[in-house]
A and B are shown apart, each in its own frame.
Chain A
Amino acid sequence: MKMSIAVLGSPYASQSAHTALNFTKAALIAGHDVIRVFFYHEAAYVGNGFNTPPQDEFALTQQWSDFAIEHDLELIVCVASALRRGILDKTEAKRYDKQGNNMAAGFQIGGLGQLIDAGLSSDRLVTFSA
């Protein structure tokens, strides 16, 4: 089955992105295709590569990055959600004249149209709400 995942919850104020990661791993193991993972609303913070939890804590952003790179997954962070929360890739940082960029490896900036497209082009769109 072709699946897409929408994640809405903040990484440290909800279980959303953590459960979504476990679900996505399970979906791949079960043989499903995961077409896209779309981070929207507070879940934009998951794409913050500057997240630096203590070494004995679960590193959510790092885990998503490693998982995406290993499985060639498309992780999209909505541009509007990301920018207003200070999550910028190199291009956006340059465009808005900001000093640094912090988009984590394996994540890409994208638009809301990709959430709708994920729904249209998948058999299931599974939302992990805020």
Chain B
Amino acid sequence: MKTFLFVQSASPHSGLLAKEGLDAILMGSAFCSVSVLLQGDALFQIHKDQNSELTQTKPVANSFKALKEYGVQNVYCSEQDLSDRGLSQEDLVISVQSLNSVECKSLMIQFDIIIGF
């Protein structure tokens, strides 16, 4: 079975891309082995204490908590992206595997299919 890596790059409240990307991740997890890489401002998608009621949107972070139940075990990010944004694991709603730049590159080649949102 082919393996998928979904790369999320959008910030959580800059449009629908974060949500529509997440919908694709959830759909993908029903069919095959899925991993997720949160790149750049997409890390804010899993930031704690977001109040999406204020923007009348659905909370994206909550859906990430459900990923495990959908069989998505591996969520990755780069160490650099975390530190650039002043974030640490304690600020996030799920635990992510942070990779250095060499590990990030070798992550990409492990998958059959990469879809970027």
Please determine whether chains A and B interact with each other in the same assembly.
yes
Q: Nearest chain B CB to A86's CB is how many angstroms away?
A: 14
Closest chain-B Cβ to A99's Cβ sits at a distance in Å of: 25
- For the complex formed, measure the closest distance between the CB of B28 and the CB atoms of chain A, giving whole angstroms: 5
Instruction: Decide: A116 and B20 in contact? CB cutoff 8 A.
Output: no
| Contact yes or no, B27 A119, CB < 8 A | no
Which B23-39 residues have C-beta < 8 A from chain A? 23-24, 27-28, 30-32
Q: Is B117 an interface residue (CB 8 A)?
A: yes
Let me know if B115 and A6 touch, CB within 8 A: yes
Residue-wise interface mask of B (63-89) relative to A, using a CB-CB cutoff of 8 A (1 in contact, 0 not): 000000000000000000000000000
83-130 of chain A: CB within 8 A of chain B: 84, 111-113, 115-117, 119-120, 125, 127, 129-130
Residue contact A120 to B31, C-beta cutoff 8 Å:
yes
- Whether B27 contacts A115 by the Cβ 8 Å rule is yes
B107 at the interface (CB under 8 A from A): no
- Is the C-beta of B105 less than 8 angstroms from some C-beta in chain A? no
Contact of B44 with A by CB under 8 A: no
The residues of B that contact A113 with a CB separation of less than 8 Å are: 27, 30-31
Partner-A contacts on B (CB < 8 A)? 2, 4, 16-17, 20, 23-24, 27-28, 30-32, 112-113, 115-117
- The answer, yes or no, to whether A8 is at the interface (CB within 8 Å) is yes
* Residue A80, interface by CB 8 Å: yes
Cα distance A40–B4 in the bound complex, in angstroms = 17
A116 CA to B2 CA in the complex, in Å?
10
Could you tell me if A116 and B28 are in contact, using CB atoms closer than 8 angstroms?
A: yes
Q: A111 CB to closest chain B CB, in angstroms?
A: 8
26 pairs from A and B in contact (CB 8 Å cutoff): A8-B117, A40-B24, A41-B16, A41-B117, A80-B20, A84-B16, A111-B27, A112-B23, A115-B24, A115-B27, A116-B4, A116-B24, A116-B27, A116-B28, A116-B30, A119-B112, A119-B113, A120-B31, A120-B32, A125-B113, A125-B115, A127-B115, A127-B116, A129-B116, A129-B117, A130-B17
CB-defined contacts of A125 to chain B, threshold 8 Å:
113, 115
